[in-house]
Amino acid sequence: MPERFEVSRDRESDEGYLHLDDKEGWWRYGVRFDGCVHIISYSERPFFDVYGEQQAHDYLHICNLDQFIADLLEIKRKAIAHFGDPYWKEGSNAAD
C-alpha cells in the first residue's frame, strides 16, 4: 500500500515536532514529541489549493492516540452492526 502522508514541505519540523501532510491535501498533522497530535481536516478544498482566503477546517488535539484509535474502531464496529451492508461493510470507503 502506498504511503498517504509525507513530511510537510512548507512547515518546518524539528526534534520536538513533526509536520505531516496528506498527499491529497485534505489532512495535516502536527505530531509532538510528547505523543500529542494536532489534526486539521480541510473541508472545502485541499490546503495547497489556496486563493488568498481563509479555508474552513476542523481541528482536533489528541494526546491519547491509542485510545482515540480504539474509540474510532469501536464506533466503526457499532456502525457496521447497526447499518449493515452495503453502507458500513468491512473494507468499504465509508467506514475506512
Confidence of residue 95 (pLDDT cuts 50, 70, 90): very low
* pTM for the structure as a whole: 0.70
pLDDT at residue 2, as a whole number: 81
Residues 47-88: tens digit of each pLDDT: 766 665 657 788 999 999 999 999 999 998 898 888 886 676
Alpha carbon distance 81, 10 (integer Å): 42
- H/E element, 71: helix 65-83
Q: Where are the domains of the chain?
A: 5-83
Task: Tell me the average pLDDT of the chain.
Answer: 82
- E strands along the chain, which residues? 5-7, 17-22, 27-32, 37-42, 57-62
Compute, in degrees rounded to 10, the torsion defined by CA atoms 72, 77, 88, 69.
20
pLDDT at residue 61, as a whole number: 96
pLDDT at residue 89, as a whole number: 61
Q: Which residue has the higher pLDDT, 90 or 76?
A: 76
